[in-house]
Amino acid sequence: MTVTISEPDPRWASEYARIEEQLRSVLGDAAGRIDHIGSTSVPSLAAKDVIDVQVTVADEAALERASSALERSDWQRVSRIDRDHRVPGFPEDAAEWRKALFSPPPGTRRVNLHVRIEGRANQRYALLFRDYLRTHRDVASAYAEVKLGLAALAPDIGSYADAKDPVCDLIYLAAERWAAETGWVA
C-alpha cells in the first residue's frame, strides 16, 4: 500500500472526539486516559488520513483487560506489531516499548489504536511528540515536508515508516530538551 499525505482536515478533531466516546463506552475504567496523538492531532499538519489514538492503562494486566474488551467489540488486534520503535539512547528494556495495536471494526473510519502502559517510554513519547509539534510550528512544517517527500519516494507503508523513524527520533530528542526546560508533563 502506498502512502498518501493529506492536507490538514479540521474534521479530524471532531472525528477523534467520536472515537474517544466510543472507546470510553467499550473500555470503561480500564482506560486511565484516552488521547488524540499522531499528526492528525496537530492542527495545520499534513498527515495520513488515519486517526491515531492512545489508550493509557495502568499496568500489564490492564493492557490485557483493555485488549480483551476491544476484541469483544470487533476491534482487530494487529498481531505483527506489539512494540514501538525504540529511540536511540532511551531505555532498551523491551517492556518500555510494549503496546497492543488495534485497527477499528470493519467498515468504520481508519484508526490506529495504541494501548500503552502509563509511565512507559512509549506512552510519554506519543504525548510529548504531539505537544512539541503543537507548540513548534516551524518544526511541524519541516516534519510535514519530510513526510511528503518520503511518501513520494517510499514504495510502501513499511518503507515509509522505516525512513520516518529516525526523523521522529531527532524531533523527539529536541522535544525532550524542551520538556526539561519548560517543565512539561503529560
Q: Is the pLDDT of residue 87 over 90?
A: yes
Q: What is the pLDDT of residues 136-176, one digit of tens each?
A: 999 999 999 999 999 999 999 999 999 999 999 999 999 99
Task: Indicate the CATH number for domain 11-178.
Answer: 3.30.460.10
| The C-alpha cell that represents 143 in the structure block | 516534519
- CA–CA separation, 155 and 181 (whole Å): 39
Alpha-carbon torsion, ordered 109, 53, 167, 146, to 10 deg: 30
Q: What are phi and psi of 35, to 5 degrees?
A: -130, 145
Average confidence (pLDDT) over 86-101: 94
Query: Please, which pLDDT band fits residue 79 given cuts at 50, 70 and 90?
Result: confident
